[in-house]
Amino acid sequence: MIKKDTSLREDLIWQIEAGIDECIGETPIDRFTKPPIEIIDEKSSQSDQKVMANFGGYQAQMSDNISNIFQTVKPVATQLLPEPPQSFGSVPERAVLSAVAMAGAANTILDLRTAVESFEECGLKKTAMNTVFADGNPSAKIMFIDAVPGADEDRKGLPLIGSSGQFLDKMLASIDLDRSSCYITNVVFWRPPGDRELTSDEIAACIPFVERHVELVSPEILVLLGGPVSKALLGMKEGITKIHGQWFDYSTPKMAAPILAIPLYHPANLLSSPAHKPDVWRDLLKIKEKLAYKLQI
């Protein structure tokens, strides 16, 4: 409130210094619809008149200098008003749209890596130590996709380098592969706090980058490690115990032809449930046979 023992000029200066940058009228303004300039000017004029009328007896004491203060404040206040949002929808929807635009603009794997590292719409990035993008040979004919980084991966910024990754190296060696002859990435590029389960919004925000990643690498074979990855990329509802070792077609609108994809038990599953190892060995032999055939074509 304006104190009667101060001048109007002092009150106005105090309000400006306190951060008051606009006058509030009785008619609300729809900030989501940018009105024509003349409507803004008309409402601003009406708002100014109402504010001036509220000063009561002080209005008569206003001098040309005080009028100048209003003329100075008004343009500044106009500049500080928030712009209407350029897009609508929920936060997750805007995150997906942003990811689609950034991923689509990437023409090389380096471009895509830069886009992922610049992406700020996934909340996991705020709590992770590093962005875990990829490892191995981007020119390889076989591409492995994990679900999410763990603690070791988060510290080093590389996928599958912990105990599960070390077991994966043994799996690769069993079919004459290593990290120099394959390419490894994730569905999500940042470790969830406490290794909690991913939310559907977090996965949706990263999928456009994964799809573009597969398009740019263009492998002959896509190996999906675990049920969650198969669900995210193939839309599978069945668990990994039912779909492992089967061949599926994976494609995106930008692909000239589908890529062969095969779900595989995650190395972590094998460490906790060794009984699945015979199944994985048979699946690995299928991959070896298919890869050899693809390389001969």
257 or 29: which carries more pLDDT confidence?
257
**155 CB burial (10 A radius; 0-12, 13-18, 19+):** middle
Walk me through the domains of the chain, giving residue ranges and CATH numbers: 8-80 (no CATH), 91-296 (3.40.470.10)
pLDDT in tens, 198-254: 999 999 999 999 999 999 999 999 999 999 999 999 998 899 999 999 999 999 999
Query: 122 pLDDT exceeds 90?
Result: yes
In whole numbers, what is the pLDDT of the chain averaged over residues?
Answer: 82
Q: What is the rounded CA–CA span in Å between residue 159 and residue 154? A: 8
Length of the chain (residues): 297
Query: 115 pLDDT exceeds 50?
Result: yes
Amino acid 29: pLDDT: 60
Amino acid 17: pLDDT: 61
24-33, 167-176, 267-276: which range is least confident on average?
24-33
Query: 3 pLDDT exceeds 50?
Result: no
224 or 13: which carries more pLDDT confidence?
224
Query: 182 pLDDT exceeds 60?
Result: yes
Query: 285 pLDDT exceeds 50?
Result: yes
**156 CB burial (10 A radius; 0-12, 13-18, 19+):** middle
Percentage of the residues of the chain whose pLDDT score is greater than 70: 72
41-45, 128-132, 193-197, 235-239: which range is least confident on average?
41-45
Q: What is the rounded CA–CA span in Å between residue 258 and residue 291? A: 15
Amino acid 11: pLDDT: 74
pLDDT in tens, 39-86: 444 444 454 454 344 434 434 443 444 344 334 434 433 343 344 344
Amino acid 63: pLDDT: 42
Give the 3-state DSSP-derived string for 221-286, with helices as H, strands as E and coil as C: EEEEECHHHHHHHHCCCCCHHHHCCCCEEECCCCCCCCEEEEEECCHHHHHHCHHHHHHHHHHHHH
258 or 85: which carries more pLDDT confidence?
258
Amino acid 46: pLDDT: 53
The mean pLDDT of 273-282, rounded to a whole number, is 96
**Is the pTM higher than 0.85?**
no
3-state secondary structure of 129: coil
159 or 26: which carries more pLDDT confidence?
159
Amino acid 89: pLDDT: 67
Residue 92 binned pLDDT confidence (cut-offs 50, 70, 90): confident
